[in-house]
């Protein structure tokens, strides 16, 4: 796929759908493998997606004894890294170059998604591995629509990509997210301001209500996370490593409480054959 993209001249269409179909069909002859789950964790910036992904990967390996991988979008492929570099350079340019338009940004992320699906997500699932992905199509829709792009266009450019087995939307209020920005050494992106995030949160919740197998996981209150045991907090610290070093015990208990809700949904809903695919 990447070679095909490189060989195309500017203005020529890049055919993604045939490559996707080939990726979905690539299973060794005479070898029956149950296709892995495809789970997505999404939400506004600093909703806690990365820590929940790490804890969920640990749960799949050590509790469910299932082979799983953790990945994210934009991808860590050479293409994904190059796209982020190009966007940063253009948006901070001092030579008079205009920043990329919102549509140009989302189209670049969508191209990266195609490569991600073809070369990582679907091959892993076809080998029977479960895939846990941080951010996916709904991120494109939310941040694209928040930037003024028509929803129908975003649906169209993402129409070839597979539906997740389930999605977990981490719903956190914007003030809480912004406090996390101010308390950590986090580089602010072009999307990280209160008005933009408020609108993004509303869009996430609206889209989640119309999305099959999408579960909204709310931020727990103190009464909820006070029930988390010391052993659970200690285990989370060991799994998260350096990422947990600057977190308070209350923050870790909140993270553990969210993790327990996701695990409960997986055991009671996701592993149920009725929504498995």
Distance CA 5, CA 70 (A): 26
DSSP H/E element including 141: helix 137-146
Q: How many domains is the chain partitioned into structurally?
A: 1
Domain holding 202, by residue range, is 38-72+130-275
Is the pTM higher than 0.75? The answer reads yes
In a domain, residue 98? The reply is: no
Q: In what order do the strands lie in the sheet with 166-171?
A: 68-72, 130-134, 38-42, 166-171, 214-218
In a domain, residue 160? The reply is: yes
Give the tokens for residue 271. 């592993």
Give the tokens for residue 174. 């914007």
**Residue 276 φ/ψ, nearest 5 degrees:** -60, -35
Distance CA 236, CA 163 (A): 30
Q: Tell me if 205 sits within 8 A of 216, measured CB to CB.
A: yes
Distance CA 48, CA 168 (A): 11
Q: What is the model's pLDDT at position 226?
A: 83
Beta bridge partner(s), residue 169:
42, 216
* CATH number of the structural domain spanning residue 137: 3.40.50.300
Q: What is the model's pLDDT at position 32?
A: 61
In a domain, residue 123? The reply is: no
Distance CA 38, CA 49 (A): 16
Q: Report residues of the chain scoring pLDDT below 70.
A: 1-32, 93-95, 181-192, 272-277
In a domain, residue 113? The reply is: no
Q: What is the pLDDT of residues 233-273, one digit of tens each?
A: 999 999 999 999 888 889 999 999 999 999 999 999 998 65
Q: What is the model's pLDDT at position 178?
A: 80
Distance CA 66, CA 89 (A): 41
Q: What is the model's pLDDT at position 192?
A: 61
In a domain, residue 260? The reply is: yes
Rounded to 5, what percent of the chain is helix, strand, coil? 55, 10, 35
Q: What is the model's pLDDT at position 28?
A: 53
Which three-class secondary structure state does DSSP give residue 157?
helix
Cβ atoms within 10 A of the Cβ of 242, count? 6
Q: Tell me if 124 sits within 8 A of 100, measured CB to CB.
A: no
Cβ atoms within 10 A of the Cβ of 90, count? 14
In a domain, residue 111? The reply is: no
Residue pointed to by tokens 């990365």: 50
Give the tokens for residue 136. 């996916």
In a domain, residue 142? The reply is: yes
Q: What is the model's pLDDT at position 181?
A: 63
In a domain, residue 230? The reply is: yes
Q: What is the pLDDT of residues 28-54, one digit of tens each?
A: 545 567 899 999 999 998 899 999 999
């Amino acid at each position: 796929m990447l070679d095909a993209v490189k060989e195309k001249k500017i203005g020529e269409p890049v055919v993604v759908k045939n490559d996707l179909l080939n990726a979905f069909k690539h299973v060794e002859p005479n070898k029956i493998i149950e296709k892995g789950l495809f789970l997505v964790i999404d939400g506004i910036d600093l909703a806690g997606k990365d820590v929940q992904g790490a804890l969920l990967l640990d749960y799949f390996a050590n509790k469910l004894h299932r082979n799983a991988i953790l990945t994210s979008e934009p991808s860590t492929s050479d293409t994904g890294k190059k796209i982020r570099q190009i966007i940063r350079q253009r948006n901070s340019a001092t030579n008079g170059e205009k920043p990329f338009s919102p549509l140009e940004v989302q189209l670049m992320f969508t191209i990266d998604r195609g490569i991600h699906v073809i070369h990582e997500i679907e091959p892993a699932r076809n080998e029977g591995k479960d895939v846990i992905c941080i951010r996916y199509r709904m991120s494109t829709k939310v941040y694209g629509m928040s930037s003024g792009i028509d929803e129908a266009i975003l649906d169209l450019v993402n129409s070839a990509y597979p539906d997740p087995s389930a999605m977990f939307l981490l719903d956190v209020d914007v003030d809480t997210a912004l406090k996390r920005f101010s308390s950590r050494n986090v580089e602010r992106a072009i999307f990280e301001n209160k008005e933009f995030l408020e609108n993004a949160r509303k869009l996430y919740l609206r889209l989640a209500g119309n999305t099959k197998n999408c579960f909204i996981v709310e931020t727990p209150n103190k009464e909820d996370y006070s029930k988390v045991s010391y052993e659970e907090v200690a285990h989370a610290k060991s799994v998260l490593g350096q990422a947990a070093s600057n977190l308070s015990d209350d923050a870790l208990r909140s993270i553990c409480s969210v993790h327990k809700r996701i695990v409960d949904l997986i055991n009671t809903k996701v592993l149920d054959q009725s929504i498995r695919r």
